[in-house]
Amino acid sequence: MIGTATETATPFVNTGGGPLLVPLEIGHPSHLAIVDPDTAFWAIVRKDRLADLLADSTVVREYRQRMEVCATEMQGLRFGLKPSAVYFNPTDRCNLDCSYCYIPRDMRRSGEHMSEARLLESLGLLRDYFSRHMPQGRRPRVIFHGAEPLLNFKAVRTGILAFEKEFLFGVQTNATLLDDTTLEFLTRHQVSIGLSLDGPTAEVTNRTRKGWQGPGDVHESVLSAMERLRGYPGYSVIVTITRENVGVLTPLVEMLHAYGVPGCLLNATRCTLQGAREVRVADGELAGPFIRALERNDELFRQTGHKMVVANFANILLAILAPTARRLMCDISPCGGGRAFFALAANGDLFPCSEFIGLESFCGGNLFREGVDMAMSSPAFAAVTGRDVDRFDPCRRCAIRHYCGSPCPAEAHEMNGGMEQIGAFCQFYEEQVRYAFRLIADGRANDFLWDRWDDADGMETVIDFSGSVTAA
């Protein structure tokens, strides 16, 4: 924690109450970064001017004055949030058997559907919970997730119709059941839609996204949905990166771009369950193909004018440029699980995040018996919300820990043996952060971000400096 203004009176960096500024190699030919790991403040400086910057410079003097503001902001972001969204599984079941799914197979094959009455009761209880702490006029979000939520679409549809004035709704679907009637209903009611696709061809997609009896028509279903959703701004496509598709990320990005997809996630598979670990890409082998795909995506934006935001990378950029503007809450510590959102299973059980739904010991209670408040204060939720990168190695000494957040607690716990362990992709995050800094250095960051991201209501500039190292 940073001290008071009086305590920080020393003119020096890295001693006493002065700013902690750590040099960070970013792979840029002329510049490197300095970072305050505690507050996530950064500057990019010409390499031959680093010593003068650290000795006494305008930018350091400016930062010293705003250091406490930055520290307070990070404290609020990391520890001061209340949930404003729920990931709602209206069924345990799925009509697919994807290699890396975080829902156990038995659950997906023979789990329960939530009845229409139970779904309506759930939404009522959730409305009451959110209304106790969310500001008037701001609607909480309900994202129907899975498993495959459209297997229980009749109940989902009833819930949306009954509560559309009280919640903003989203659906994440594998698209196999997204017929014209369903799609028309969802878009007419402005439901945010997420699809999933893993390859530029059916042959690649089928390697990981398949039916219980074999490949099926998953790939064609998603292409059909993307064609029909062309022009709908509220949809995105999740690509799960595994060893089965890491070699074709660039053609996959080209295909998504050609379909006019407004945004996507290029996620390394979460290694919470064994099935995912079996198809994971080795940590050190991911950044190269990922960055090449991002570069190709930017090239296509420059050529065509259509911007497809790769949201998980955009989130890393935002973590650097405007930490509180993050849209994803995986890459912050503690993560958003049990803080910014929580997950509801089809039987009413509450978990910090969907990633924990297969892990019974992380159930915080049941919506119909104990309620959300009790789950929020349960030991199961505390185990996740208490995972803090400031408290375990190697994260606590890592300069970029507040850009990365060391995701994911479920993965760390199940794959690496405990909450105070790193996740599966430490090097990958390092390289993303370095790349993000290079883009900022070269004035390219906005190509990779949502348009007008910095024009949101209430957006303020805390620090904005460019010039020579010692200029007044």
Q: Residues for the chain: how many in total?
A: 472
State the number of CA atoms in the 13 A half-sphere of 385 facing the CB: 24
Which of 162, 238, 359, 419 contacts another protein by CB under 8 A? 238
Q: Can residue 194 be called a binding residue for another protein (CB under 8 A)?
A: yes
β-sheet bridge partners, residue 267:
240
Which of 22, 120, 291, 382 contacts another protein by CB under 8 A? 291
Return the closest-CA partner of residue 414 out of 208, 286, 275: 275
DSSP summary character for residue 91 = B
Q: Can residue 64 be called a binding residue for another protein (CB under 8 A)?
A: no
d(CA 413, CA 351): 15
Neighbour tally for 189: CB within 10 Å: 12
d(CA 321, CA 437): 10
Which of 218, 407, 436, 449 contacts another protein by CB under 8 A? 407
* Torsional sign, CA 434, 307, 217, 151: positive
Return the closest-CA partner of residue 193 out of 236, 159, 222, 161: 236
Are residues 58 and 465 in contact, defined by beta-carbon separation less than 8 angstroms? yes
Which single residue is written with the structure tokens 């001693």? 15
d(CA 348, CA 117): 13
CB closer to another protein, 355 vs 420:
355
CB closer to another protein, 90 vs 194:
194
Reduce the DSSP state of residue 39 to 3 states and report it: coil
Part of the chain binding another protein (CB under 8 A), chosen from 2-10, 118-126, 278-286, 366-374 = 278-286
Part of the chain binding another protein (CB under 8 A), chosen from 5-13, 149-157, 231-239, 382-390 = 231-239
CB of 243 vs another protein, minimal distance in Å: 14
CB of 1 vs another protein, minimal distance in Å: 19
Which of 287, 345, 384, 412 contacts another protein by CB under 8 A? 287
Part of the chain binding another protein (CB under 8 A), chosen from 212-220, 265-273, 366-374, 412-420 = 265-273
Helices (H), ranges, 132-210: 153-163, 180-188, 202-208
DSSP summary character for residue 64 = H
CB of 213 vs another protein, minimal distance in Å: 25
CB closer to another protein, 153 vs 169:
169
Judged by CB under 8 A, the chain residues 376 through 405 that form the site for another protein are none
Q: Can residue 184 be called a binding residue for another protein (CB under 8 A)?
A: no
Which of 16, 233, 247, 379 contacts another protein by CB under 8 A? 233
Part of the chain binding another protein (CB under 8 A), chosen from 107-115, 329-337, 360-368, 379-387 = 329-337
State the number of CA atoms in the 13 A half-sphere of 61 facing the CB: 9
Q: Can residue 256 be called a binding residue for another protein (CB under 8 A)?
A: no
Burial-class residue 325 by CB neighbours within 10 Å (0-12, 13-18, 19+): middle
Judged by CB under 8 A, the chain residues 208 through 227 that form the site for another protein are none
Q: Can residue 328 be called a binding residue for another protein (CB under 8 A)?
A: yes
CB of 267 vs another protein, minimal distance in Å: 5
Contact string (CB under 8 A) for another protein, positions 129-158, x = contact = --------xxx-x-x-x-------------
> Token pair of 91, please?
């069924």
Burial-class residue 252 by CB neighbours within 10 Å (0-12, 13-18, 19+): buried
CB of 438 vs another protein, minimal distance in Å: 6
Q: Can residue 375 be called a binding residue for another protein (CB under 8 A)?
A: no
CA dihedral defined by 144, 166, 456, 45, rounded to 10 degrees?
Answer: -40
CB of 469 vs another protein, minimal distance in Å: 5
CB closer to another protein, 153 vs 341:
341
Return the closest-CA partner of residue 221 out of 182, 178, 251: 178
**Site size toward another protein, by CB under 8 A:** 105
CB closer to another protein, 158 vs 267:
267
Q: Can residue 340 be called a binding residue for another protein (CB under 8 A)?
A: yes
Judged by CB under 8 A, the chain residues 69 through 128 that form the site for another protein are 70, 73, 76-77, 81, 84-85, 87
